[in-house]
Structure 1
Amino acid sequence: MSTELDLVPAGFVQAIEELPLVDHHVHGASAHDLSRKAFEEMITESDRPVPDWMTPFDSQLGFAILRHCAPALGLTAHCTPEEYLARRARLGADEVNRRLLTAAGVGHFLVETGYRGEELLGPSGMAEVSGVPADEVVRLETVAEQVAAGGCEAAAFAGRFAEALWERTRTARGLKTIAAYRCGLDFDPAPPDGAEVAEAAGRWLAEGGGRLTDPVLLRHLIWAGIERGLPLQFHIGYGDPDVDLRRSDPLLLRGLIERAEPSGTPLVLLHCYPYQRHAGFLAQAYPNVFFDVGLAVNYTGARSAAVVAESLEAAPFAKILYSSDAWGPAELHYLGAVLWRRAMARVLGGFVVEEEWSPEQAMKVAAMVGADNARRLYGLGPRS
């Protein structure tokens, strides 16, 4: 039985498979062996207990793991979850990580360390296991919460945060904000003044300075990030139930995008599902906007080619990036790369088969999105 990929020139498919990707937004792989319960909790975005009458393996992501990751661990494709997890346990976390991270074909990882980073491999650990460079992306909210935890007066917060941010980002390649989770993206786009920041900091610190959700302080962090000048990543759209999906549409950032445009700081929209077409519009309209469909590729599995195709509709190709947003099981790092390559081969190869694009144009776009755009944006240098 023929498939769509059978119609695509073999050399084009091979070239995409061999492209050393830049995973510009990723978290570390789990450094420890995982029980079935722990593994299943990491292959769903729900934070609720899994009912005993179902398994997250019965999903696009779960089926994709059994199809694509099983052979990488020495099993037949489409094995059972029990067979898969037993094989994973026999190999152990170190060997699973080594096999899957090296097989992903990533040439550079940009590792965001702000969420439960102590449970995962950091940039140096990712580099050691994968054999390729790994640099850090710093989460703004985590830096602010660390400043508060260290003891700080309200009037001194802005200065202390600026000092801490500079110190934490001396070698970082980018910044990230999760304002979509903390207050939604429909915030006032103007930078708050010093008095507003001090007043908001006073309220927050008086309450213990824990999880930062104050919109004034989040605006301050974002504008401090813009002034820092490193590419600033925004979580957009799909995520766990902590995010209000209605308030994570990237179109809500239009006012901020326009105000930030003179700074020249790149604003990078992550994941974007189901708003990938909205992100494409913004990337076309504004020179400071870039985006990916990261997390959505893994979670849409066999349907990921449709999501990737939509990301290519309106945006200039120089504004689109690749990421896996993998967190925890190395399956997600590997699978993000595999599914993205297959999607690009299908979508761009289809354009070639239909004689809408030349093979050279298709390979140029695959290389731009998979690696070259991120290398330019984050100052990684050209591919070797």
Structure 2
Amino acid sequence: MKAMVYRGPYKVRVEEKADPRIEHPNDAIVRVTMASICGSDLHLYHGMMPDTRVGHTFGHEFIGVVEQVGPSVENLSPGDRVMVPFNVYCGSCFFCARGLYSNCHNVNPNATAVGGIYGYSHTCGGYDGGQAQLVRVPFADVGPSRIPEWMDDEDALLCTDALATGYFGAQLGDIVEGDTVAVFGAGPVGLFAAKSAWFMGAGRVIVIDHLDYRLEKAREFAHAETLNFAEHQDIVVEMKRTTGHLGADVVIDAVGAEADGNLMQHVTSAKLKLQGGSPIALNWAIDSVRKGGTVSVMGAYGPMFSAVKFGDALNKGLTLNMNQCPAKRQWPRLFEHIRNGHLKPSDIITHRIPLEHIAEGYHIFSAKLDNVIKPVIVPS
């Protein structure tokens, strides 16, 4: 099959790889019909996540058609059109039984915290992802679901991570009716978090970013107020000023590790092995929220040597809620919003790129060229 492979920071290309095969009776093989590049893929692309191995195939957002199933699979059949959540999980361990699919205890031998994630670093289990023609899907009776007949493929694709994660970020904010909600980051997840905040009763939503075209999208798609932090000497002071000098009730960090890379990585194309990025956005969130408020974090972070303002969070009496999103847990609510016309996830898609041109897709997305918001990858 053809698949995207990682060859080092800023280096990806399409190569021929062996077709995946059934390795366990509950596996399925899915022929990918659509995938996408996620903002957290850029952390891998920039060499910011530990144990990202040469030869790995990225891609944790994908949909497709079932080609083959193992002998124990009961819920899927060849020919089924399926959406696959980005979490790999068993469905039966202590954590899965409590809906914490992203913390599954049985799918990742490399970490005790996060479960498995398709197409991410080997700290997340080392599962090849969906930026390829075919992908092996473990626990096929648990994760994948048939796409509802009424749902468009592109809408289903965005439910596999970006939409579910944005919605989850708003959930983690414990939004109370009338709350002022600030969202750092106007990428796809931030846009979906801002949109979802209204569903949960927000009285005011403010999105902060430094790219004018993304802020314009936040106004159009999420109906949010916007602030360009590059236009203010101190974005925290501006946030206090615009919230009556109290701070927002809820702040959502939809940035995570610096997706644009740091200076060392840009100059040397090298990575600092254990540095998962900078906590700038997280510290802004802690400083911008009011005393007694809530900070929601669902951006991708690795280990950091830089200081997080934990003392400030303590002294302000903040609630910090965070996790990787258990994507499938969000689907019933999201399906209703989509079916009732309250939400059209595919409205944020700006680029549709053939798999063979994926290197150009990563360059466009990384460099924020051509007003890119969300690129979709289409295998041939």
Work out which structure has the larger RCO, using CA pairs closer than 8 Å and 6 or more positions apart in sequence.
1
- Pick the structure with greater CA Rg: 1
Fold in common (TM above 0.5): no
TM-score (norm 2): 0.31
Q: Which has the higher strand share?
A: 2
